Amino acid sequence: MLACVSSLDRTHSAIILTTMATPKNNRGRKRAPRAFVLAVVALWVVAVALAGYAIWHSLTGAGAATVPAPGPVASAPSDDVTTTLPPTTTEATTTTTLAPVLTVAAGGDVLGDRKVGTFMDANGGAAVFAGVKPYMEGADLAFVNLEGPISDQGHRNTRKQFTFRARPALLDGLVSAGINMVSLANNHSLDYGWGALSDCIARLDAAGVSHAGTGADAPGAAAPAMLQTPAGTVAFIAVSEITASFAAGSHPGTYYTSGSNDGLVANVSAAAQQADFVIVSLHWGKEYHPEVTSHQVSLGHRLIDAGADLVLGHHPHVIEGMEVYKGRLIVYSMGDFVFDHYSRATGEAFVLQVTMPQDGPPWGTITPVYLTDSHGIPAVVTGSEANRILSRLTSLSAALGLQLNREGDTATFGSPTPAPDTVTSTTSVPVSPTTTLTP
């Protein structure tokens, strides 16, 4: 500030001296013009103003750079900040795995000749199975034993007393009822020679009906029919213990077995390595005898031990008992299914509906059927008719250790497997925290 005052004094003095040095009336020189004097005065005023501004600036600090006031500084949440962390959201994902099960519907011997043939001539093949169709269709595998070839070819075997050849219309009946597997291994397949049997095989193939038990040679006859189902692959083996003269060798014929049956047992064991299920159809036993033979029981058990999951028997023309052995079902004889007959016992039959898991015992339903006396056409029965058939089957099965449960006009065995195994996996889904500022 002193420097500023000193500078001001010097400027002020210089102006005064300069003014005083100029004479107001000086000879030899002209008088200073009036404009000059005004300019000097103006400069003096400006100098004084500048000096005053300098003094004010020094005292107040005016004109310094303006620094904006600092804003809030980010910091960790204090007592005024509330951070809310909601619990982690957990979603449970449940995966249920159902073990595959095979459904099978089965009936016994089916004839397409004699009075049954006459019925088809008048009513068509579909009418034969109309009464049992609801119980057959829809199964993964629906089976019957075909007694005699479906054909209009071949020559009758005159050396036999009873020979059968089914009307071609019978094939329409099989297809209409959903029957997709038949056995040809029996004592009537070659009643009209290989010409009729090969024609039958061609017809079945064309209609999409699988078959087993016959072939152009022994290996072909023994080969299982392989059926693909939603539950897996089924190997179906059909074999006959009746009529050795029909056995295939180097020539066409049936899959025939006798004696030790070691070959059949080995065949079943091999099939069990290739398929998810093995079913064996057996034409065996004594005609018109409801009691099971010791040979049937022994062979049935060996087949189960070898890997069979179900054994379906036929040929006696009457019902025989059922057995569950090591968690697998053996039906020793289902009786006739479509057949003209001459006695009450031979007219009694049933539809077997069985559900088979890969692991665990089967369960199923037996629906009683009676074959009409006039033509041998199956019809489901109720009331006293049903009671008579089911009572017979219940008694025969109890002797083999299987308890059938009566439920109205049907009988059942076993029970559905427990609830399927359930695997539950838990998935945690993190959620971003929520911050709340408290004013």
pLDDT tens-digit map of 383-436: 999 999 999 999 999 999 999 999 999 999 999 876 454 444 444 444 444 444
When mean pLDDT is compared across 85-89, 174-178, 185-189, 268-272, the lowest value belongs to 85-89
Closest listed residue to residue 149, CA positions, set 103, 114, 116, 195: 195
Span 176-180, mean pLDDT?
98
Cα 144 from Cα 138, distance rounded (Å): 15
Q: Which two tokens stand for residue 270?
A: 């091999």
Q: Which helix (H) or strand (E) holds 371?
A: strand 363-371
Name the band, by pLDDT with cuts 50, 70 and 90, for residue 72: very low
Q: Cβ distance 232 to 275 under 8 Å? A: yes
Q: Cβ distance 344 to 119 under 8 Å? A: no
What is the per-residue pLDDT for 267? 98
Q: Tell me, letter by letter, the H, E, C secondary structure of 19-81.
A: HHHCCCCCCCCCCCCHHHHHHHHHHHHHHHHHHHHHHHHHHHCCCCCCCCCCCCCCCCCCCCE
Name the band, by pLDDT with cuts 50, 70 and 90, for residue 15: very low
Q: What is the pTM of this model?
A: 0.75
Average pLDDT, the chain: 83
Tens-digit pLDDT profile for residues 342-398: 899 999 999 999 999 999 999 999 999 999 989 999 999 999 999 999 999 999 999
Name the band, by pLDDT with cuts 50, 70 and 90, for residue 93: low
Amino acid identity for residue 333 in this structure: S
What is the per-residue pLDDT for 167? 98
| Backbone angles phi and psi of 304, in degrees to 5 | -65, -45
Q: Which two tokens stand for residue 16?
A: 């005064």
Residue 289 has pLDDT above 50, yes or no: yes
What is the biggest distance separating any 2 CA atoms in the chain, rounded to whole angstroms?
184
Q: Which helix (H) or strand (E) holds 348?
A: strand 348-357
Q: Which two tokens stand for residue 127?
A: 């009418």
Residue 178 has pLDDT above 50, yes or no: yes
Tens-digit pLDDT profile for residues 16-47: 334 334 433 443 334 445 555 455 455 655 55
Residues of the chain above pLDDT 90, percent: 71
Cα 331 from Cα 361, distance rounded (Å): 14
Tens-digit pLDDT profile for residues 323-341: 999 999 999 999 999 999 9
Q: Cβ distance 194 to 202 under 8 Å? A: no
